[in-house]
Amino acid sequence: DLLDVHRYSATFMIEQVRNSTTAQEIEQSLKRLPRIVKALTDSGAHARNISRIITTISDTVLGKLIDFAIEEIGEPPARFAFISLGSEGREEQTLVTEQDNALIFEDVAPDESAAVHAYFQSFSTKVCTWLDQVGYDFCKGNVMAMNPDWCQPITIWQSYFSQWIADSRPEDLMEVSIFFDFRCLYGDTRLPDQLRGHIRNKAENQKAFFYQMAQNSLLFKVPIDFFGNIAVESGGAHPNTFNIKHAMAQIVSFARIYAIYYSLESTNTLQRIDKLQEKNILKNEIHEEIVEAYNYLMQLRFRHQVSRIDSGAEPDNHVTINELTHMEKDMLEKIFSQINQLRKRLSLVGHNEIYF
């Protein structure tokens, strides 16, 4: 059927990337991605499936660029793992593409350290530069493997997370929370697995950490006013809009906090929510509300971004209130009210048991 044709288009694109020999060829292939996403959105494809397709494509691109880098500068001198963070780590990418990545390598002897650092710094710079060239923009916050801070041996990464867990304020965690969504894209999976085990051990019984994580989440406001109406920006760069990414941040943060607390391996938001329900941590009713809200917002987000591209504009997350029907506004008001209830639950984290 029509949906299978669109999936085949994505499959064909992935095959093109795998067969490419230069970054320029990958760049040309990726120009078709918005059309594929538009076709999927128009045909009613589930947002979860669209995100999965986008993630598979970006994973394939990264893998190919890493292969190029190894061909150019030689085999790595130590075991390593290239990890994705944030939305890519959660397998929730949209058409607003910005890099969030890092690199972990194994500890080496002191006399080898300088050479190994130099190799991976050169390697990461090549990969991140090529990613920018093909369409995955440099991270404005410089959270990329090419930043020496985020290209480190496993023991340094363990010390980073130990510090974040033991001694962070909400505003600090605003910057580093995406690191808790890491996913291995290439390399030795034992390194990120080792890091995840370290996080699990350090976070256990750290009520202050979970309190700070929750307070960080509460820094994002749900776009709804006192009367239950959608609240939009009154001025600034995006008047008469609300930021749909910020609206979804409460759900993403909620899933992240509970995943860390209950030692879940999943990084994807909906998989985390599903696991919490399976473990009887989330009641069925709350689970259904969260899943419904997340799916609806992600579907709207894709439609908005496709519409922006159709009009010749850059895709973004600022939804104009005028582009919504009355039914959509009613649905959003209901969803935002539900997310506000989630905020109230998050505000209790650290004050009493996290379980509810």
> Quick one: pLDDT at residue 355?
47
Q: Which residue has the higher pLDDT, 126 or 227?
A: 126
Residue 52 in any domain: the answer is: no
Residue 118 lies in a domain: no
Report if residue 196 sits inside a domain.
no
**Model confidence over 244-272: pLDDT tens digits?**
999 999 999 999 999 999 999 999 999 99
Do the domain assignments include residue 309? yes
Calpha distance 143→84 (Å, rounded): 10
Tens of pLDDT, residues 61-113: 999 999 999 999 999 999 999 999 999 999 999 999 899 999 999 999 999 99
User: What angle (nearest 5°) sits at the alpha carbon of residue 332, between those of residues 90 and 279?
Assistant: 45
CB-based contacts of 237, cutoff 8 Å, min separation 6 = none
What pLDDT score was predicted for residue 90? 97
Domain for residue 26, yes or no?
no
Is 333 contained in some domain?
Answer: yes
C-alpha 253 chain-centroid distance: 11
Residue 311 has pLDDT above 70, yes or no: yes
> Can you read off the two tokens belonging to residue 249?
């941040």
pTM for this predicted structure: 0.93
Is the CB of residue 342 less than 8 Å from the CB of residue 290?
Answer: yes
CATH number at residue 327: 1.20.120.330
Total domains in the fold of the chain: 1
Strand partners of residue 352: 349
Cα separation, 343 vs 349, whole angstroms: 10
Give dist(CA 269, CA 295) in Å, integer. 11
pLDDT at res. 344: 87
pLDDT band, residue 236 (cuts 50/70/90): confident
Under the banding of pLDDT at 50, 70 and 90, the label for residue 216 is: confident
pLDDT at site 4: 55
Q: Is residue 14 part of a domain?
A: no
Q: With a cut of 70, say whether residue 232 has pLDDT above it.
A: yes
**Over the chain, what is the mean pLDDT?**
93
Q: What is the pLDDT of residues 7-23, one digit of tens each?
A: 558 889 999 999 999 99
Domain residues for the domain of 345 are 205-356
Average pLDDT score over residue span 172-184 = 91
CB 149 within 8 A of CB 43: no
More confident residue, 354 or 351: 351
Residue 275 lies inside a defined structural domain of this protein: yes
Pair 353, 345: CB distance under 8 Å: no
